[in-house]
């Protein structure tokens, strides 16, 4: 039986990424897959490139009418219209940690008989994710935190952020802003520095001359408190919320004596029961990247949940290269990656 992968358009604003490049689509087609790609007004890769690779082209947002056996592949959330979901969906569902929106999503799958194969839970036998945008999330998240700090030095709150053609363009923009500011560079503490996300954050800090203290499990194993967080200008959280994650920033941090003025919650899971940052409960946006949680002394949180889309070309190519070998085993019953993802869904659905 032919495997039919249907790449949907993203409905979220500012989401230019994709999880499949035309080169990857050609590999799937050569392996016997049928690949349909929806037109998109915002995807970074032109639809003509997919057509040239041999893909079938469908109209934007037509996936609800796709054949029942098609596997719908996207990245971010589906339109919040409450409709029942009958297909297998590959996406980031954010549905397994008690998030309110996640419960709604699972109810839609329950109603339609469909399945969520969550990209966050595609793991190898050791539990390590096989494909992630983490490096570019860390890179962009550190950049946005630095933009928030720069705005504070001007007596402002950060304005809108945008996508960049490349990482080099982002670095040039930041460097220009720092030079114009004329202030000493801030200090940063990165928790999760040994992971993909932390590596990206650390590389951005190094490129911008921001002195970064790098922590990982060894430094946080005692469970807190962590007064060192308050002693840096910027705190970058690069650890996903999960049971047992320590609290890095308690509610008391708002009024504590501190140097800290910007928190970049790059892991960005504020409505999870396990969030390690307790001073906020909502994500921020491209239009309003900073949430001011205290005025004197000032404290801003930035928590954008699609950060890699600030560099959509590089992040798409990186992620797609990681994921392609596993897409090639999508309907292989011996593929532990997809079997484990199915088990996560079955447990969540109860």
Which candidate, 11, 102, 13, places its Cα nearest to that of 64?
A: 11
> pLDDT at position 1, please?
79
Residue 238's pLDDT is 97
CATH code, domain with 65 = 3.40.50.720
Evaluate if residue 167 carries a pLDDT over 90.
Answer: yes
Quote the DSSP letter at residue 218: H
> What's the alpha-carbon Rg for the chain, to the nearest Å?
21
Whether 250 and 290 share a structural domain: yes
Q: Which of 205, 163, 174, 185 is nearest to 316 (CA)?
A: 163
Q: What is the pLDDT of residue 272?
A: 85
Region 129-156 average pLDDT: 97
Backbone angles phi, psi at 274, to 5 degrees: -105, 15
Position of tokens 């928590």?
Answer: 303
What pLDDT shows up at residue 206?
98
Residue 5 has pLDDT above 90, yes or no: yes
Domain membership of residue 126 (yes or no) is: no
- Asked whether residue 201 is domain-assigned, the answer is yes
pLDDT of residue 97: 82
Active site residue 89: no
pLDDT confidence of residue 78:
96
The pTM of the full predicted model, rounded to 2 decimals, is 0.85
Give domain status of residue 331, yes or no: yes
CA dihedral 65, 67, 73, 76 (to 10 degrees): 20
> Does residue 326 form part of some domain?
yes
In a domain? residue 127: no
Contacts of 14 (CB under 8 A, 6+ apart): 42, 163, 286, 306, 309
Q: Are residues 344 and 254 in the same domain?
A: no
Are 138 and 25 in a shared domain? Answer: no
205 within 8 A of 264, measured Cβ to Cβ = no
Residues 275 and 264 in one domain: yes
Q: What's the rounded mean pLDDT across residues 187-205? A: 97
* Residues whose CB falls within 8 Å of the CB of residue 36, separated by 6 or more in sequence, listed in order: 4, 5, 6, 7, 55, 56, 57, 58, 66, 70
Number of domains in the chain: 2
How does residue 172 score in pLDDT terms, banded at 50, 70 and 90? very high
Active-site residue identified among 4, 87, 89, 94? 94
Element (H, E) at 118: strand 115-118
Q: How confident is the model at residue 216 (pLDDT cuts 50, 70, 90)?
A: very high
- At residue 98 the predicted structure's pLDDT band, cuts being 50, 70 and 90, is confident
Question: Is 128 inside any structural domain?
Answer: no
pLDDT of 258-295, one tens digit each?
Answer: 999 999 999 998 988 899 999 999 999 999 999 999 99
* Domain annotation covers residue 129: no
What residue numbers bound the domain in which 100 lies?
4-121+312-349
Is 94 considered catalytic here? yes
Q: What is the pLDDT of residues 8-35, one digit of tens each?
A: 999 999 999 999 999 999 999 999 999 9
Q: What is the mean pLDDT of residues 100-124?
A: 96
In DSSP notation, 295-322 reads TTTTEEEE--TTGGGGSHHHHHHHHHHH
Confidence check: pLDDT of 241 > 90: no
Could you read off the pLDDT of 283-331 as tens digits, one per residue?
999 999 999 999 999 999 999 988 999 999 999 999 999 999 999 999 8
**Confidence class for position 176, pLDDT limits 50, 70, 90:** very high
If asked whether residues 213 and 108 sit together in one domain, one would say no
Q: What b/e sequence results for 151-169 when a residue is b if at least 16 CB atoms lie within 10 Å of its CB, and e otherwise?
A: bbeeeeebeebebbeebee
Q: What would the two tokens of residue 100 be?
A: 């309110």
């Amino acid at each position: 039986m032919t495997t039919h992968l249907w790449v949907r358009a993203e409905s979220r604003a500012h989401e230019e990424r994709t999880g499949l490049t035309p080169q990857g689509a050609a590999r799937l087609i050569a392996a016997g897959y049928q690949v349909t790609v929806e037109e998109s007004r915002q995807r970074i890769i032109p639809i003509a490139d997919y057509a040239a690779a041999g893909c079938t082209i469908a109209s934007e947002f037509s996936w609800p009418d796709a054949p029942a056996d098609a596997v719908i592949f996207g990245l971010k959330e589906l339109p919040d219209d409450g409709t029942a979901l009958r297909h297998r969906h590959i996406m980031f569902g954010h549905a397994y940690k008690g998030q309110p929106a996640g419960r709604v999503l699972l109810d839609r799958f329950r109603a339609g008989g469909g399945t969520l194969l969550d990209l966050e839970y595609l793991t190898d036998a050791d539990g390590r994710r096989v494909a992630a945008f983490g490096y570019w999330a860390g890179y962009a998240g550190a950049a946005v935190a630095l933009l928030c700090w720069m705005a504070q030095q001007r007596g402002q709150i950060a304005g809108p952020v945008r996508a960049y053609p490349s990482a080099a363009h982002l670095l040039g923009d930041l460097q220009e802003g720092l030079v114009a500011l004329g202030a000493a560079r801030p200090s940063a503490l990165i928790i999760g520095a040994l992971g993909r996300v932390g590596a990206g954050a650390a590389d951005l800090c190094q490129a911008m001359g921001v002195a970064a203290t790098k922590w990982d499990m060894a430094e946080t194993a005692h469970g807190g408190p962590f007064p060192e967080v308050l002693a840096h200008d910027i705190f970058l959280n690069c650890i996903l919320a999960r049971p047992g994650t320590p609290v890095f920033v308690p509610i008391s941090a708002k009024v504590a004596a501190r140097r800290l003025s910007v928190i970049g919650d790059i892991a960005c899971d504020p409505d999870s029961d396990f969030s390690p940052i307790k001073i906020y409960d909502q994500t921020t946006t491209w239009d309003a990247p900073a949430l001011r949680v205290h005025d004197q002394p000032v404290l801003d949180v930035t928590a954008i949940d699609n950060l890699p889309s600030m560099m959509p070309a590089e992040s798409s190519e990186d992620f797609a290269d990681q994921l392609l070998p596993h897409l090639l085993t999508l309907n292989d019953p011996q593929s532990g990656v997809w079997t484990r993802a199915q088990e996560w869904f079955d447990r969540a659905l109860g």
